[in-house]
Amino acid sequence: MPRVPLTMPKMSMTMEFGTIVEWLVDEGAEVHQGDAVLVVTTDKVDMDVEAMTDGVLVQKLATDGDEVPVGEPIGYIESETDDLLGDLFAPGGDTPEEAGPPEVGTGPEPDAVAPAESDEVAPAPTGDALQPESEAGHPRPRAVPLARKLAQEAGIDLATVTPTGPTGTIRARDVRAAIEAAAAAPAPAAAPVQPVEAAQPATAAQAPAAPATGELLGDAKTRRMRVATAKALEASALIPQFTAYRTLDLSRLAVARKASLSGVSWTTILVRAYAMTLREYPALNGYWVGTGVQPNGHVGVALAVDTPVGLLAPVLRDPDKLSIRALNDAIKALAASVKGGQIDPDSLSGGTGTVSNLGKFGIDRFNALLTPPQATALSLGAVGPRPVFDAEASVRARIGCDVGLTIDHRVADGADAARALQTVQDILDDPFLLLG
């Protein structure tokens, strides 16, 4: 009976790896085509992986927490369904039943350093002559990119790590196990105590073990969301950025919202004005590539949405090309699907700018950070009456909103931000421009 591999699916255009969240089916259980077999995640989005045929799940190749490259097998389903692909997926031309465990060759000496010019995992070669060579002439251990990264950061020699992946591939969990084993190993004989000022920084293997999962706040999904946010903000911190603030006058629009724009939210209006402005300023809609600004062929507004598990920013593609009411409906539907935990991973990519709105929380003004490689982010405060002085120096109320435009200083200057905010105001002063 043929075995059909269950592979890590590519759930978005930018996805390279997926993390196993939970197996929904035990080994030996019967599955049917379309059944959800396990849950995987790509940073912020959890998705079900379905069986592609009827059969029995006979083997799991990855466990909860493992990171697996797209296209790699994560399990096998034994099926009586005709397999038109035959043994195409079997390593080395053998069927999974015939293929024995991979032979582990002699790895490089402990002092040998494997080259780091590529983290790609090639298909399993046959014959010793096809094994990748290190600079020392020894076979280079096969490992997924994340495993190489973890080993490099922890100072772990991959040749000392026992692989558990297909065809002798070292997985991320194998490296983590090696790090834990090194941390738990008996300490060497005590050496003379160094003065504090001369002490060397501790390596990852010498550092105390990380706190147990039970000591961390939140469930596993919440922690994954915080890790993904942390990665984005760490990259954002490397960008020279500043924020220009302005109070937008919404008086004319407040009147229009009682007539031609009745039922349209302030968020929709401001998102459309922002998108129209990005369309007018290609540099602000582009991104820095080291030698200049690369323009984007579309406008993608990422709308920051507060969800039960954390912040998500689904992208509205070319929102300035939709009618105002179509955009209003699209924003409502997108926010509802995200908060309900149902979202296409592809909708989280393609943003060329971000809108973050904290007005509903009573916040008047805040600084929105950039999301690389986007060059701008627009923060929206609460919409409401603002005291202003008229020509006679009398105070009167005016409907307004404090906004902040954060820009990548490599892409544009302060004057460009000021001009962009003036363009936003010009659009808002003419409600007919927003009708679409």
Q: Which long-range contacts (CB under 8 A, 24 or more apart) does 258-262 make?
A: 260/431, 260/435, 261/324, 261/431, 261/434, 261/435
User: Would you call 205 exposed, middle or buried from its count of C-beta atoms within 10 A (0-12, 13-18, 19+)?
Assistant: middle
Rounded distance between C-alpha atoms, residue 22 and residue 118, angstroms: 30
Neighbours of 373 (CB within 10 A): 17
CB 401 within 8 A of CB 381: yes
Q: If DSSP codes are grouped into helix, strand and coil, which group holds residue 422?
A: helix
Neighbours of 210 (CB within 10 A): 11
Rounded distance between C-alpha atoms, residue 224 and residue 342, angstroms: 17
Any idea which residue has 């820009």 for tokens? 407
Which member of 46, 346, 409, 429 is catalytic? 409
Side-chain half-sphere exposure of 241, counting CA atoms within 13 A: 27
Query: Could you tell me the sign of the dihedral formed by the alpha carbons of 88, 94, 96, 99, in that order?
Result: negative
Q: Which two tokens stand for residue 101?
A: 């465990």
DSSP code for 138: S
Rounded distance between C-alpha atoms, residue 161 and residue 332, angstroms: 50
DSSP code for 131: S
For the beta sheet containing 17-23, the strands, ordered from the edge strand earlier in sequence to the opposite edge, are: 45-50, 36-42, 17-23, 67-69
Q: Which two tokens stand for residue 356?
A: 């973050």
C-alpha R_g of the chain: 27
Which member of 318, 413, 426, 430 is catalytic? 413
Does residue 413 have an active-site annotation? yes
Does residue 138 have an active-site annotation? no
DSSP 299-342: -EEEE-EEETTEEE--EEESGGGS-HHHHHHHHHHHHHHHHTT-
How many angstroms separate the Cα of 329 from the Cα of each of 50, 319, 394, 436? 31, 11, 40, 14
CB 427 within 8 A of CB 273: yes
Q: Which two tokens stand for residue 102?
A: 């991979």
Residues marked active site are found at 409, 413
